Amino acid sequence: MNFRELVDWISGRQEKEPPPPTQDLERRRYLRVDLTDGEASFQDFGAFPLTNLSFGGLRISTKGKSLPPNLKKGSLIASKVRFGSVEFTTTLLVCSVTGSTVGFSFHKLASSHSKQISDFLRPRILGVSLREISATSLKSDDPNLKLRWFQGEEGTQVFLWQTLEGDVVKEEFYFFKYMITWNNNGNKLQTGYVNESVGKSGYGRIDPMSVVFFKVPSHRALRLGKTILEISCLPPEAKDRFLSEIVREERRLYHRYVLGENDSGINFFPEWNLDKSLPVLNLSLNGIAFLLNDVNAAEELVKKGDLSGCIEISGKSIKTNIHILYRQGLIVGGSLKIAEEKNVELFALFLAPRLLGQSLEEDTTPTEEAPTTQAGTRNYVFLGIHNTHLLAQVLPNERLVRGRIAFMDKVVFFDRGTLTAWVCPCGIIFPRDWDLPLESVRQLPELDSFLKDICVQMLQTAKIPEEVRNAWMAVL
């Protein structure tokens, strides 16, 4: 496996843009959101693009195709529906046929499918709901700043601080128990989780004591926050810069690895003093940051500008050249270039699995019906960047019953005591489906050591329950 290509896949592939704000969310029984990248497939007459989706149904376009004769109002028809990273089979009831559009309602929709639709629609509906309200009940801590307040459904809020001249100073964004905050002083963006059992909840500013900030920004928080803001109608001063910072931070997660407790052996030795190392905070294929112990040391490093030296990784020394670009307090960072091309793959070998593991975050959305197992089995789903995911069915004794680790086009699958490796040429396996799509994957002759090592390092890096980690490590 080429690990440089794996890092490029992690850092270079863009998520699909959410649909633009829609002005015709239909005021019917359910709000509807326009779609541009979904489809509904029917066994007898192919696939048709989805034009909108709601909690209760969907609409397709038959433009350029012959209208199937059995698509008549009141008829029931089976369909495979796909939008975003969701795919499921259900029964649709034809409600209307108008020109080249056909409207359906869901017929006896499974609860897991209903939850998947809800998770897809909710951030988009929250974005549309955001409106500015009077902030007279709130006071800015600084008399030289004015505070503006935007509210939406389900406790969604944006607070904006501006100078009296209108320059943006900072913002706070609350949604789905997450908080994203940005401060122009140092251009600092943070994500956190709101613990509603501590301090104030509901509308109004949240007690800072109730927010637990993530050491590594939450990919899920950034992705959901981006979706909400992109589809919102907030004014440019409240939206553009803040959204740009969120997108920038999200992209960083695709290539920047924040060193954890298990990475104490990662050191940089500058050539002017090979006996003393600089403490590395994070790494990417093209960048590095150090966490210094005092301001004078940080300022001295900035003055040097260009550094040459060696990074020690897994007992191996890699020559690098560094150009200092910024300092934020005790953090000094810059660009990094591997001096010898032969070491680029070694560096990527270290980064790739850690980037994948770092991005995994538990998802509580119901999956497709999990295979029947023994009583007490717990089901886990963890989602990461792009289509990376980890599934696990674990018994109370930390024994893995069934599971899957997937990234790029590679899949490691465990079932009935057997561990197998697969490749998916199209690169898409829907995380919430427990069964492998056999029509889309091809089994490899064996699980090679490189693939196994990537999985092990992902598990060691990921913030997952110990019973999941131990269960998977036991079979690997």
* Chain centre to alpha carbon of residue 59: 28
Average pLDDT, integer, range 28-43 = 79
Phi-psi region of 458 (alpha: psi -120 to 50; beta: other; left: phi over 0): alpha
Average pLDDT, integer, range 233-250 = 91
What percentage of the chain has pLDDT greater than the value 90? Answer: 31
Angle at 51 between CA 50 and CA 56, to 5 degrees: 80
Q: What's the confidence (pLDDT) of residue 260? A: 76
DSSP β-bridge partners for residue 200: none
Q: Average pLDDT of the chain? A: 83
Instruction: Find tokens 């697969």 and name the residue.
Output: 422
Average pLDDT, integer, range 199-225 = 77
* Residue 290 DSSP SS3: strand
- Contact 367/116 with Cβ under 8 angstroms? no
Average pLDDT, integer, range 438-443 = 83
Q: Would you say the pTM of this structure is higher than 0.85?
A: no
Q: What's the confidence (pLDDT) of residue 20? A: 46
Q: What's the confidence (pLDDT) of residue 210? A: 82
List for the chain the helix, strand, coil content (%; round to 5): 25, 35, 40
Among the residue ranges 168-177, 230-239, 306-315, the one predicted with the least confidence is 306-315
Higher-scoring residue by pLDDT: 426, 24: 426
* Chain centre to alpha carbon of residue 35: 20
- Inform me whether the pLDDT recorded for 475 exceeds 90: yes
Among the residue ranges 35-44, 400-409, 428-437, 460-469, the one predicted with the least confidence is 428-437
Higher-scoring residue by pLDDT: 324, 32: 324
Q: What's the confidence (pLDDT) of residue 390? A: 94
Residue 346: which pLDDT band, with cuts at 50, 70 and 90? confident
- Inform me whether the pLDDT recorded for 196 exceeds 50: yes
Higher-scoring residue by pLDDT: 257, 27: 257
Residue 284: which pLDDT band, with cuts at 50, 70 and 90? confident
Q: 96, 103, 124, 151: which is closest to 25 by C-alpha?
A: 124
- Inform me whether the pLDDT recorded for 242 exceeds 60: yes
Residue 343: which pLDDT band, with cuts at 50, 70 and 90? confident
Among the residue ranges 162-176, 293-307, 443-457, the one predicted with the least confidence is 293-307
Specify the DSSP class assigned to residue 355. H
Residue 286: which pLDDT band, with cuts at 50, 70 and 90? confident
Q: What's the confidence (pLDDT) of residue 345? A: 86
- Contact 249/243 with Cβ under 8 angstroms? no
- Give all domains of the chain, ordered by start, each with its CATH number: 32-110 (2.40.10.430), 131-253 (no CATH), 258-351 (2.40.10.430), 361-475 (no CATH)
Look at the alpha carbons of 454, 460, 462, 467 in this order and tell me if their dihedral is positive or negative: positive
DSSP β-bridge partners for residue 1: none
Give the number of other CB atoms < 10 A from CB of residue 226: 21
Average pLDDT, integer, range 105-109 = 91
Instruction: Report how far residue 415's alpha carbon sits from residue 410's, in angstroms, rounded to the nearest whole number.
Output: 17
Helix crossing, 219-231 with 236-253: angle to 10°?
A: 150
Among the residue ranges 28-32, 138-142, 166-170, 451-455, the one predicted with the least confidence is 28-32
- Inform me whether the pLDDT recorded for 93 exceeds 60: yes
Residue 67: which pLDDT band, with cuts at 50, 70 and 90? confident
What is the strand order of the sheet 131-133 is part of? Answer: 131-133, 145-151, 157-163, 168-175, 178-183, 188-194, 211-213
Instruction: Report how far residue 306's alpha carbon sits from residue 198's, in angstroms, rounded to the nearest whole number.
Output: 47
Helices (H) and strands (E) in the chain, counts: 8, 28
- Contact 306/325 with Cβ under 8 angstroms? no
What percentage of the chain has pLDDT greater than the value 70? Answer: 89
- Inform me whether the pLDDT recorded for 10 exceeds 90: no
- Inform me whether the pLDDT recorded for 27 exceeds 50: no
Q: Which helix (H) or strand (E) holds 115?
A: helix 111-129
* Residue 125 DSSP SS3: helix
* Sequence-distant contacts of 466-472: CB under 8 A, at least 24 apart: 467/378, 467/394, 467/398, 468/380, 468/382, 468/390, 468/392, 468/394, 470/398, 471/392, 471/394, 471/398, 471/399, 471/400, 471/403, 472/390, 472/392, 472/400, 472/403, 472/405, 472/414
Q: Which helix (H) or strand (E) holds 302?
A: helix 295-304
Instruction: Report how far residue 388's alpha carbon sits from residue 408's, in angstroms, rounded to the nearest whole number.
Output: 7
Residue 434: which pLDDT band, with cuts at 50, 70 and 90? confident
Highest-confidence range of 18-32, 272-286, 332-346, by mean pLDDT? 332-346
* Chain centre to alpha carbon of residue 87: 18
Q: 56, 59, 62: which is closest to 103 by C-alpha?
A: 59
Q: What's the confidence (pLDDT) of residue 187? A: 66
Highest-confidence range of 143-152, 286-295, 463-472, by mean pLDDT? 463-472
Average pLDDT, integer, range 68-88 = 85
- Inform me whether the pLDDT recorded for 70 exceeds 80: no
Q: What's the confidence (pLDDT) of residue 26? A: 38
Look at the alpha carbons of 208, 210, 215, 219 in this order and tell me if their dihedral is positive or negative: negative
Q: What's the confidence (pLDDT) of residue 30? A: 62
Q: What's the confidence (pLDDT) of residue 454? A: 92
